[in-house]
Structure 1
Amino acid sequence: MLSVKDLHVHYGVIEALKGVSIDVNEGEIVSLIGANGAGKTTMLQAISGIVKKSSGDVEFLGQSIYKTNPKNIVAAGLTQVPEGRRIFTGLSVYENLMMGAFLRKDKKGIEEDLQKVYKQFPILEQRINQDASTLSGGEQQMLAMGRALMAKPKLMLLDEPSMGLAPILVKEIFSIIKEINAQGTTVLLVEQNAKMALSIAHRAYVLETGKIVLSGTGEELINSPEIQKAYLGG
């Protein structure tokens, strides 16, 4: 579904990604773990077209999106839930969700997907008319995920969904990610909570200073002594 090939990204003279290659197959949850500053967010933003790429290629559904406008990438079925939620303050929960569907014209389909989001996140229906800025951190994360689902994505990129959340909410968010995947959305997950990220991943990659240094199934990596020492406190 997604194939990133020898991707390089520079910020001025700093090389943030140094020839990264990963694949995400349809139906998978693929986790990308690594320390702060490893290049994880840059990777997602490069895939989404938000960050300019220096060289390499990104293919989605068999087509290169290397030079594709971010709006057209969303229209093709790839959406991103950004780090820090980035909900629209001053807009209601409902208006935030509708922003996710801004490229769609199928009114009936939009309404059906809205009801699906409310079923997935009942708290959002209860808060429908509230200013999104008044939601708790966990509720804002749910809103950001619901907004992305309103775009009807084939592939969802999730950037640090557990950031700043209490442990009980982290478990709930990861449970929801598994549900979203089970309902047919492929997921590429960037996450500092390596244990949780690997526990739900079909496959995973480890990114260090802009390079992929390890890959394998989630189970293989969670049981790897190297990973346990570096990321799991083992």
Structure 2
Amino acid sequence: MLKVNDLQVFYGMIHAIKGVSFEVKKGEIVTLIGANGAGKTTILQSLSGMLKPKSGTIEYNGTELSTIEPHKIVQKGLAHVPEGRRVFYQMTVEENLELGGFSVKDKKQIDEGLKNAYEKFPRLYERRKQLAGTLSGGEQQMLAIGRALMSKPEIILMDEPSMGLAPILVKEIFNIIQEINKAGMTVLLVEQNANMALSIAHRAYVLETGKIVLEGNSKDLMGNTEIKKAYLGG
């Protein structure tokens, strides 16, 4: 479904991503784990067109994405839940959701998307007329996920969905990610909470300073001594 080959990304003179290659198959949850500054967010921003790589290929369902504008990438079925939620604070919950469906031309589909979002996140329905800036961190994360789902994607990129949330909310968000996946959504998850990420993912890639240093089945990586020591507090 998604194949990244020899991705090279620079910030000015800084070589941020150094020849990264990985793939995500339809129906999987794949996680990228690593310390702050490893390059996880940079990779997601490259996939969704927010950053242009210097070289390498990003192939999604047979289409090369690296030269396509971000809004057209959304139309092709790839949605991005950015780090820090990035909801529009001065717009209502419902307006944020409707904005997520900008690429959907059929009004019935937008209405159906809203209905599905409210069924998945009842708290958003209760707060649908509230400004997004008045929501709690967990509610804003639910809104960011709901907004991404409005475009009817085939694959959803999630960047640090647990950031800044209380442990009970982290568990709720990860349950939601699993539910979305069980309903047929492919997920590429970037997380610093390696324990939680590996507990729900099928496969994982470990990033260090812009390179993939380890990859494999998530359960195997959870038992890896080096991973335990570096990321799991073992």
Q: Say whether 1:51 aligns with 2:51.
A: yes
Q: What is the SS of the residue equivalent to 1:83?
A: coil
Which residue does 1:137 correspond to in 2? 137
**Aligned counterparts, 1:133-172, within 5 A:** 133-172=133-172
Which residue does 1:101 correspond to in 2? 101
Q: What is the SS of the residue equivalent to 2:43?
A: helix
Q: Distance in 1 between matches of 2:24 and 2:164?
A: 27
Q: Distance in 2 between matches of 1:222 and 1:60?
A: 29
Superposed displacement of residue 80, structure 1: 0.2
Q: What is the SS of the residue equivalent to 1:213?
A: strand
Q: Say whether 1:6 aligns with 2:12.
A: no
> Identity percentage over the alignment?
64
Once the two structures are superposed, what CA deviation does each residue of 1:19-45 show, in whole Å capped at 9, x if it has no partner?
000100000000000000000000000
Q: Which runs of 4+ in 1 moved over 6 A?
A: none
Q: Say whether 1:21 aligns with 2:21.
A: yes
Which residue does 2:60 correspond to in 1? 60
- C-alpha RMSD over aligned residues: 0.5
**Aligned counterparts, 1:1-234, within 5 A:** 1-234=1-234
Superposed displacement of residue 145, structure 1: 0.2
TM-score, normalised on structure 1? 0.99
Superposed displacement of residue 114, structure 1: 1.1
Q: Distance in 2 between matches of 1:97 and 1:221?
A: 36
Q: What is the SS of the residue equivalent to 1:46?
A: helix
TM-score, normalised on structure 2? 0.99
Matched residue type, 1:92? T
Matched residue type, 2:161? P
Once the two structures are superposed, what CA deviation does each residue of 1:65-105 show, in whole Å capped at 9, x if it has no partner?
11011110000000100000000011000000001001111
Q: What is the SS of the residue equivalent to 1:10?
A: strand
Superposed displacement of residue 184, structure 1: 1.1
Once the two structures are superposed, what CA deviation does each residue of 1:105-128 show, in whole Å capped at 9, x if it has no partner?
111111112111111100000000
Matched residue type, 2:66? Y
Contact map agreement 2:52 2:66 (CA 8 A) in 1: no
Q: Distance in 1 between matches of 2:22 and 2:220?
A: 17
Matched residue type, 1:63? T
Instruction: Structure 2 unaligned segments of length 5 or more: list them.
Output: none
Matched residue type, 1:161? P
Matched residue type, 1:134? T
Range with bigger deviation, 42-51 or 102-111 = 102-111
Instruction: Structure 1 unaligned segments of length 5 or more: list them.
Output: none
Q: Distance in 2 between matches of 1:232 and 1:65?
A: 34
Once the two structures are superposed, what CA deviation does each residue of 1:135-190 show, in whole Å capped at 9, x if it has no partner?
00000000000000001110000000000000000000000000011111100000
Matched residue type, 1:158? M
Q: What is the SS of the residue equivalent to 2:197?
A: helix
